[in-house]
A and B are shown apart, each in its own frame.
Chain A
Amino acid sequence: MNNEQLNDRNVSDGYFLVDIEDYPTDGWGKFKRVIKRTFRGELFVGLWVVLREMIRFDTHTIKYPEEKMPIGPRYRAVHEMKRLWESDAERCIGCGLCEKICISNCIRIDTRLDENSRKEVSEYTINLGRCIFCGYCAEVCPELAITHGGEYENASDQREHFVDYAGMLTPLDKMKAGTQVEFEGFGAITPHEDERVKKTPLAY
């Protein structure tokens, strides 16, 4: 597309005026408009439609909050922390990349050396008041540990209800049941990834 189209300021071609009656200006004209609108019967058309649909019980709306729309797999709502399928252990290795990349500076992570000489996440918070749900944290995560979830209802009396590390982790019973849902959005592995894995040569 070239810019000429955009730069064309001539409005005479292709534009036309909508055929709208002029507004009445004098008192008599205004009075006539009120009478005309009042006795046209459109109100009763509307009332009839409502009555008809009520009798038919053919509802097209969703009864929120009892009913909820299914959310797309790439929807970026409140974060989740995933577990490993093999061991149910936390996927997060505490590398701190999500903290580094976060453009609204809302992630804070604190790590330490645990008894087994491994890196352990001791504290992790996301300040949802600042989070803009850009999805960079999920994209940068090398372990697919932090992802977005489908939980878009961000109303609570305690902000901590969403961003406490334990709360973000997939519950263990969900892991046992094998119902942890992988995030398919930003940062997820592309399809057929395992076919591209090259094995390390092992001569022995």
Chain B
Amino acid sequence: MDKIINFKINGISVEAQKGETILTVARKNDIYIPTMCYISKTTPCASCRMCVVEASGVEGFVLSCNTPPTEGIEITTNNAELENERINIMKLYDVNHPLECGVCDKSGECDLQNKTLEFDIQKQNFSARDQARPIQQWGLINYDPALCILCEKCVHVCNEVIGDDAIEVKFGGYSSVIIPKNADTLDCTFCGECIAVCPVGALISSDFQYKANSWELSRVPATCAHCSAGCSLEYETRHMGINGADELYRVKNNFEFTSLCGAGRFGFDFDNKATKDDAAFHKAVEALKNAAAIRFSSIITNEEAHILQLLKEKLGIKLFNEDARKFAEFMKSYSSVSGKLHHSGSLDAIKQSDAAIILGSRIATDNPGVRYALTTAARHNGAKIVYAHPMEDVLMQNVTTQMMKYEVGTEEGVIALLASAILSDADLDESEKAFFDDLDLGYIYAETNLGEEEFSLMMKSFSRAKNRVLIVGNDLIAHERSDNIAKLVALIEKYSDFSIVVVPREVNTLGVSLINTLDIDEDIIDVVGYNDNGNFVISSLEYANLSVPALNQQEGTVVSIDNRVLPTNAALGFDGYNLNDLANALGIHKKNTIDYTKELNTNAGFKDIEFDNLENFLSKMGDDVRGYLLDEVTCQADGQLEELDDLPEFNGTIIYHADPVLQFNAYTNKTKQLEKDNFLRGSAQFSVAAKISDGDIVDITFGSTTIQREFKLDSELKGTIALNPTFDINVDPSRYRFEKSKIVRVM
């Protein structure tokens, strides 16, 4: 049982849960304690000492940020002595702080400025010899040490939430600075979280620097359009130049509670520009009338998906979306065993977990939101994290406690072994028991290249864990045997306390899979592509026959990995036509796309709520009140496990479709700031096996596709699998992500 501690702050009786500090309790009860270095999502830095309070029976001051209350204690948050202490701290902060507030990019959103005015620091009583501290340019981030107040928020966030651990404090009294860890320049995933948390203008986006002031920018709350984590963000827009139209200037997030990866923060300018082209519009209507099918991507809103579904019903055509179809099939098999339509876990569940398994995903680049949640779990709960994948990932090394390196293609065997380890004491029914009894463990261990001791080690490290999570990635969804894999995953959920998170591939794969009934993609003519390939392309990307708005130009909802329906808003206007106009021309009448929000498939858990009634913010205490959670839907659990198939072998030069950091899809490829790193990356071992060397231009053939890329030797990689980015090419998402490939040196 969690104990409740009763105590008093300024004479007001308050309650604290176990693990809460005086500061968190005070904030919960609207009692103000000033802080400079405190940030809710990390452990207290305790570097500013602004949060000092007096406690009855304790001599001297107490730091409220890292002190838990004791029963019956009386706290005073403000009196003359405390005020004096705080004023002195502020005076020290202000020593030699450059008086460039007029040009500083914080432009008034500055903690230091606020507190200086709050404590009425009029003059500098202390002095120190000022020193030359040149501005550091770290790519997307600029650091001005002269402005830095050494609050250490950036260091804590980088280490505890993001997991890059790329910066540290170089201690040296007055000459302390933030420096890149073990490197000359910053080498990290450029999430930009350090920019977000910086209370002064020391860490700044190099693209945004000196371009605009915060008061000129209008903020549009939205949901990130790049991956399924569904991070909340705010697009900030302003007119470009003197007479220009509105443009996106930067993205901000509620850094106190949420994080954002670099793609979300720096990859915002993927908007589409178009005017009303009537000729193209009529051609599009004709094309849709004559179409046999619509092929579309999952980078669309639920409302667009709903319109496509209505078009399918009205025109009697097929809908192709291999990515969502595979996901839907996976979830169908999953629910046939678990009895529930949606997976049970969420990012919050991962954050609070103390044991996690990641299986079948290069999660750090597939879904940074999950990575940050895992880092938080590892740093704050000491979570044991098992990373099961055929390739090591440098980005996950910091948090992974156990690496399970299995052979490519043997996911079915791995999940069977996992299930048998986890469910060894579970109360299974007859057929399920029989399934595990029939497993040829020796064969599976041999083929997967995993040892029994690895699983016993895992179970031992998990033995004390209370909140356990299994994260399942795209390698399982797009696997040939995904059907049986899904059932085994569901079995773990059904008979153990694991909560399951299935990571959808694209931003709204989950939503599309719930709304649309999809057909198997056929290579036929008369296919209209909607944000995808086709004979007639309606798209928000380049080379479209009819341009439609991108996700930052339209209102609508998407379903995130948390099964949460998240609203997103139009940051920029769009002058052309959209899908709803096409639907209206084809006889499906609604004034606005968002009129469909309350008509979304209630059988899949959607609620009958108008778009305009959906909230899009985080509460003062950081509770996510955006949109709504999908209703839990139960379904029949009549799925039967199949016998394990022979585990396939992958030999030769294997490539793995995985995007580099900050890249996800054609939209991130379109943005100005994000690096377009489209090399084929492989280890030295791979280069020997494929007979290519660093800098070679190679033809890569997999399936029926051939692409040309430059090969780059990556010292961080090991083994004989190379990484092939997919953000700049079109890869069939229904195919298994590891591919046997032929690699030929061209020049």
Contacts and interface: CB of A to CB of B under 8 A. Distances in A.
Contacts of B703: none
The 5 lowest CB-CB distance pairs between A and B, nearest first, are A95-B102, A119-B210, A119-B103, A113-B210, A108-B242
Given A110-B242, A200-B124, A96 B210 contact: no
Interface string B208-221: 01111101100000
Contacts of B103: 93-95, 118-119
Q: Is the interface of B mostly helix, strand, loop or mixed?
A: loop
B123 A96 contact: no
B127 interface: yes
Given A95-B213, A143-B102, A201 B242 contact: no
Given A200-B127, A201-B126, A204-B127, A113 B209 contact: yes
A80 interface: no
B135 interface: yes
5 contacts: A96-B107, A96-B212, A99-B216, A117-B142, A200-B124
A103 B4 CA distance: 55
A181 B241 CA distance: 31
Contact of A123 (B124, B125, B126, B241): B241
A66 B419 CA distance: 99
Contact of B242 (A100, A125, A200): A125
A184 interface: no
Nearest to A117: B135
A55 interface: no
A120 B210 contact: yes
Interface string B85-104: 00000000000000000110
B135 A123 contact: no
Interface string B111-152: 000000000000111110100000100000010000000000
A127 B126 CA distance: 46
A93 B104 CA distance: 10
A123 B102 contact: no
B127 A198 contact: no
B209 A93 contact: no
Contacts of A202: 127
Interface in A115-166: 117-120, 123, 125, 142-143
Interface in A154-204: 198, 200-204
Contacts of A117: 135, 142
A123 B212 CA distance: 12
Contact of A112 (B123, B124, B210): B210
A111 interface: yes
Contacts of B241: 110, 123
Contacts of A97: 102
Contacts of B243: 108
B242 A203 contact: no
Contacts of A125: 242
A123 B213 contact: no
A111 B87 CA distance: 35
A96 B108 CA distance: 12
Contacts of B102: 93, 95, 97, 142-143
Nearest to A121: B210
Contacts of A111: 210-212
A201 B127 contact: yes
B129 A100 contact: no
Contacts of A203: 127
A198 B241 CA distance: 40
Nearest to A111: B210
Contacts of A123: 241-242
Interface of A: 93-97, 99-100, 108, 110-113, 117-120, 123, 125, 142-143, 198, 200-204
A53 B199 CA distance: 75
A160 B353 CA distance: 64
A120 B211 CA distance: 9
Nearest to B126: A201
A111 B210 CA distance: 6
Given A96-B216, A113-B209, A117-B135, A198 B242 contact: no
Given A93-B102, A99-B216, A198 B123 contact: yes
A108 B206 CA distance: 23
A204 B211 CA distance: 38
Nearest to A99: B216
Nearest to A96: B213
A118 B215 CA distance: 20
A113 B107 CA distance: 15
A198 to B, nearest CB: 6
Given A108-B242, A201-B124, A204-B129, A94 B210 contact: yes
A112 B212 CA distance: 8
A100 B214 CA distance: 11
Contacts of A118: 103
A85 B142 CA distance: 32
A27 B576 CA distance: 76
Interface string B240-255: 0111000000000000
B700 to A, nearest CB: 40
Contacts of B206: 113
A142 B108 CA distance: 15
Interface in B127-184: 127, 129, 135, 142
Contacts of A201: 124-127
A100 B216 CA distance: 7
Interface string B193-205: 0000000000000
B728 to A, nearest CB: 29
Given A95-B103, A120-B210, 7 more contacts: A93-B102, A96-B216, A99-B216, A111-B211, A113-B206, A119-B103, A202-B127
A187 to B, nearest CB: 15
Nearest to A114: B210
A201 B125 CA distance: 7
Contacts of B135: 117
A201 B123 CA distance: 10
A96 to B, nearest CB: 5
Interface in B219-260: 239, 241-243
A93 B101 CA distance: 11
Nearest to A122: B241
A141 to B, nearest CB: 10
Contacts of A198: 123
Contacts of A100: 213, 215-216
Chain B CB within 10 A, most for which of A95, A112, A204: A95
* Residue with the greatest number of chain B CB neighbours at <10 A, chosen from A94, A117, A118, A120: A117
Nearest to A204: B129
Interface in B549-606: none
Nearest to B124: A200
A117 B124 CA distance: 27
A112 B213 contact: no
Nearest to B125: A201
Contacts of A99: 216
A97 B215 CA distance: 10
Contacts of B125: 201
**Which of B103, B107, B135: most chain A CB closer than 10 A?**
B103
Contacts of B242: 108, 110, 123, 125
B481 to A, nearest CB: 54
A99 to B, nearest CB: 7
A123 B216 CA distance: 16
A108 B127 CA distance: 39
A202 B95 CA distance: 11
B249 to A, nearest CB: 12
The residue in A93, A113, A203 that gathers the most chain B C-beta atoms within 10 A of its C-beta is A113
B296 to A, nearest CB: 39
Could you say which of A97, A110, A202 has the most chain B C-beta atoms within 10 Å of its C-beta?
A110
